[in-house]
C-alpha cells in the first residue's frame, strides 16, 4: 500500500525570457535545482541560455531534457556554447540524441552527464553503471505497477544511479500520488513534478501552493 506521506517539492520547470528566469531562480530559497527543456529551438540558442543561467547564478544546478531531439552535430553545437567550467552544474541532460549510443558518445566527449528517460520503456533497456550516465527519470504513470516502479528505483540505486520520480502531465490528483511515491522511494532526491501549470484547473485534490481552481466530483461529467 502506498504510504500517505508526500514530497511536494519540485524542480521548477523554466520557461520564458531568460533574463526573467535569472531573477526568479536567484530568488529561490534553499538548494537551487531547476529544469530546462532544450531541443525546442536551435541548439546554439539552448546552449547560450543554459550558459547564461549557470553563469549568472553560481549555486544553480540544472536538469535538462532534450527528448532525443538532437543529432550528434546539434548536440555538440549545444555543448560548444556551455562553458566547460559550468558543465559540472548540469545535474544531467535527459536523452540528448536520437540513439543511446549517440547520447553515450555525447557524454564522453563533453563531460556533460546524461540520464535515461524514454529508454526505460524500451524492451531492450537494461540498468547499468556506465561512464557519463548519472540518472534515470522514472515516470510511474507510464511504467505500470508500483512493484515495477519500486524495482526500477532499486535497480538504479544498486548501480549508483540517481532515480528521479517525474510526472508525465498528470492532473493534481495524479501529481499528489506521484508525490507520495517520491516520498516513499526517493526521499533524498528532488522529484520532477512541476507540470501542474500546464493545466487550467486542479482535479479533486489540491496541490499545495497552487492557485488554480479545483474541480470537485460534482463538477465532473460522468462517462457512464
Q: Round the CA-based radius of gyration of the chain to a whole number and report it.
A: 18
Residue 35 designated active-site = no
Residue with cell 555538440: 76
**How far apart, in whole angstroms, are the C-alpha atoms of residue 89 and residue 27?**
18
The H-assigned helical ranges of 57-199 are 72-80, 100-110, 140-143, 146-158, 172-185
Dihedral of CA 107/38/142/99: which sign?
Answer: negative
Catalytic residue among 32, 35, 134, 139: 139
Question: Considering 37, 80, 98, 134, which one is annotated as catalytic?
Answer: 37
Task: Calculate the CA 214 to chain-centre distance.
Answer: 25
Rounded to whole angstroms, how far apart are CA atoms 155 and 160? 9
Angle at 86 between CA 85 and CA 91, to 5 degrees: 135
Annotated active-site residue 74? The verdict is no
Helices vs strands, H then E, count in the chain: 7, 9
Residues annotated as catalytic (active site), given as ranges? 37, 139
Amino acid at each position: 500500500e502506498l504510504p500517505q506521506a508526500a514530497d511536494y517539492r519540485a524542480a521548477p520547470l523554466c520557461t520564458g525570457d531568460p533574463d526573467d528566469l535569472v531573477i526568479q531562480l536567484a530568488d529561490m530559497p534553499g538548494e537551487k535545482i531547476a529544469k530546462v527543456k532544450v531541443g525546442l529551438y536551435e541548439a546554439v540558442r539552448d546552449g547560450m541560455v543554459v550558459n547564461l543561467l549557470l553563469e549568472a547564478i553560481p549555486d544553480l544546478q540544472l536538469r535538462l531534457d532534450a527528448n532525443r531531439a538532437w543529432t550528434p552535430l546539434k548536440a555538440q553545437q549545444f555543448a560548444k556554447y556551455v562553458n566547460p567550467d559550468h558543465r559540472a552544474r548540469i545535474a544531467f541532460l535527459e536523452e540528448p540524441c536520437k540513439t543511446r549510443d549517440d547520447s553515450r558518445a555525447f557524454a564522453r566527449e563533453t563531460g556533460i552527464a546524461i540520464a535515461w528517460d524514454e529508454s526505460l520503456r524500451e524492451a531492450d533497456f537494461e540498468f547499468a553503471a556506465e561512464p557519463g550516465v548519472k540518472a534515470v527519470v522514472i515516470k510511474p504513470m507510464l511504467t505500470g505497477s508500483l512493484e515495477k516502479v519500486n524495482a526500477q528505483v532499486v535497480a538504479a540505486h544498486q548501480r549508483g544511479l540517481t532515480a528521479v520520480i517525474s510526472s508525465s502531465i498528470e492532473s493534481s490528483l495524479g501529481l499528489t500520488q506521484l508525490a507520495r511515491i517520491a516520498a516513499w522511494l526517493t526521499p533524498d532526491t528532488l522529484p520532477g513534478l512541476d507540470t501542474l501549470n500546464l493545466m487550467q484547473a486542479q482535479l479533486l485534490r489540491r496541490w499545495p501552493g497552487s492557485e488554480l481552481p479545483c474541480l470537485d466530483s460534482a463538477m465532473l461529467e460522468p462517462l457512464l
